[in-house]
A and B are shown apart, each in its own frame.
Chain A
């Protein structure tokens, strides 16, 4: 018998995502976790620029639209003055890892007690599918029309692995939303990340592999299959830094 899942109370109205997009699932997971942890009325979302910006239109929760890439710095300032609030930045891969890599990596470097959720759809979704720092080798995008040449443009970046191996942070994981099982797993990662913030353990990041059927020129089902068959071979799912204190 299936469980009935009630819509989290801070979700107010539908958001404007394309059919088959993963953003809606991820936002829903974050809201479910916040509610389960009793933090849904104690949260501020610094939001990135990109499809992630749609989060602002659909939630009855405090949020702030940061300029492109700067959400981790804004989050750091928020946490400094308002340590009692849970601060969750919500950003795309272009926002967090291309234009915002300095802010994103330095927040991890300082081990800021914030939670960063990045949505990795291997391109710049909002602006029509340009190459990003997570675009796969040979992937065709509007700025890598013959397929990404990684020798010239760099290889896809694995951010959670990078900060987990280099810095003294609390938690780093990568989830996905291509199947019910992966969605449940991702929810448990987001929960651990927010719990670690509640427990003042420091920086937590969860990257989530997310389909972008419109810009991938695929049907929603093909896009889910691409994650399963291609992406998670490279972007391994799992936890790269476990919490040391588990309560």
Chain B
């Protein structure tokens, strides 16, 4: 049995062990413990910590670290991640590797302090200007969040892009026993700026935007093909398949287990990558499935769009109804999910698609 760690502290220590050399950011609940921890910890291991004047400056400092080829990190929540969108678009444009953590809290504008999944659309579709993608990992336990820190850096560097860890307020604040991985050594990325002009560059006005866009799209297609990740169970037999990620994903798993004990043929998909969306999991679903049900911690129902598109793509001849159970914020209780499933069966809750 491992040591007890708070989610945000565990993520921060994992970043140090994954070779992160620069953190820059601005405090915001419920992400702040990440930066508090790193303010003391990074200098101990020869890294740098900068308390930025804003999230906008924070992401731009990360751009500096990433351009010089070192593992760099910023974390925030809600409106803070809004301010980072400009920088994320720049990172995509320059094909730089960096990791951004969103400890999601609920709400528009200033928002609230409730744990939620309201930023799904923005993170998976891209929130800054342009035509880019970000790899999005969504852990459902602290141990998995730690693994995602290492994975995020590896994917970010393999594909030279931003990898985001989309965790949730509650996951950042809770404690679990975990195993912390060993330290790894990271050198400057070979393609980085080193002051010696090791790699030739062209001026911005000499760029071939058409070719760049086509190559970038090719890269995104490769990622869609190779990097879908998910956890699933009983898909081949299920009449109804629940789809849910993060902490609501864990509740959903619990609800599916109990419903199966009660005799219902249900299964689940827990997306681990929200982008690329695990479409391939939908291939494994029983051809006679009666419905897909997303369980989400937001008000409008966001992931339901991707679930509906995925079932359409994989079961083209069927018109499988897709339902959404949006619990606004927090983590839905197993009994709530079960109760709402009965409403779907009775026709009281209608499909979205």
> Which A positions have Cβ atoms within 8 angstroms of B?
10, 16, 41-44, 46, 53-54, 56-58, 60-67, 70, 73-82, 84-86, 102-103, 106, 109-110
Contact = CB atoms under 8 A, between A and B. Distances in A.
Contact of A81 (B48, B90, B201, B206): B48
B57 A103 contact: yes
Given A63-B201, A74-B63, A86 B22 contact: no
A73 B24 CA distance: 10
B57 to A, nearest CB: 4
Most buried by B among A53, A65, A77: A77
Residue from B48, B66, B68, B70 having most chain A Cβ neighbours under 10 A? B68
A53 to B, nearest CB: 6
A75 B201 CA distance: 19
A80 B64 contact: yes
B21 A73 contact: no
B61 A41 contact: no
Contacts of B86: 67, 70
A70 B203 contact: no
A73 B61 contact: yes
A76 B194 contact: no
Interface string B56-67: 111011111111
A53 B204 contact: yes
Nearest to B86: A67
Contacts, number: 135
Contacts of B56: 70, 73, 102-103
Interface in B203-219: 203-206
Interface in B238-260: none
Instruction: List the 7 closest pairs (A to B, CB-CB), nearest first.
Output: A57-B203, A77-B64, A77-B61, A73-B60, A85-B195, A80-B48, A78-B64
A84 B64 contact: no
A80 B50 contact: yes
A43 B87 CA distance: 23
B63 A42 contact: no
A48 to B, nearest CB: 12
Contacts of A42: 195-196
B195 A80 contact: no
- Most central of B24, B65, B193, B206 by chain A CB within 10 Å: B193
Given A44-B68, A76-B57, 9 more contacts: A56-B201, A62-B195, A62-B201, A64-B67, A73-B58, A73-B60, A73-B61, A76-B24, A81-B70
B202 A76 contact: no
A16 B195 CA distance: 24
A115 to B, nearest CB: 13
Contacts of B131: none
13 contacts: A16-B205, A61-B197, A63-B201, A64-B63, A73-B64, A74-B63, A74-B67, A77-B72, A80-B64, A81-B21, A81-B70, A102-B54, A110-B50
B206 A57 contact: yes
Contacts of B87: 67, 70
Contacts of B72: 77, 81
B93 to A, nearest CB: 9
B53 A78 contact: no
Interface residues of B, number: 38
A77 B22 contact: yes
Contacts of B197: 10, 41, 60-62
B65 A81 contact: yes
A44 B64 CA distance: 10
A102 B63 contact: no
B179 interface: no
A77 B65 contact: yes
A77 B21 CA distance: 10
A56 to B, nearest CB: 4
B52 interface: yes
A75 B64 contact: yes
B94 interface: yes
A190 B20 CA distance: 34
A77 B201 contact: no
B68 A81 contact: yes
A80 B202 CA distance: 25
Contact of B63 (A56, A66, A85, A106): A66
A80 B72 CA distance: 11
Contacts of B22: 77, 80-81
Given A41-B197, A77-B50, A57 B205 contact: yes
B63 to A, nearest CB: 5
A140 B202 CA distance: 36
B128 to A, nearest CB: 10
Contacts of B63: 64, 66, 70, 73-74, 77
Contact of A82 (B58, B60, B195, B202): B195
Contacts of A46: 64
A103 to B, nearest CB: 5
Interface in B285-340: none
Contacts of B94: 64-65
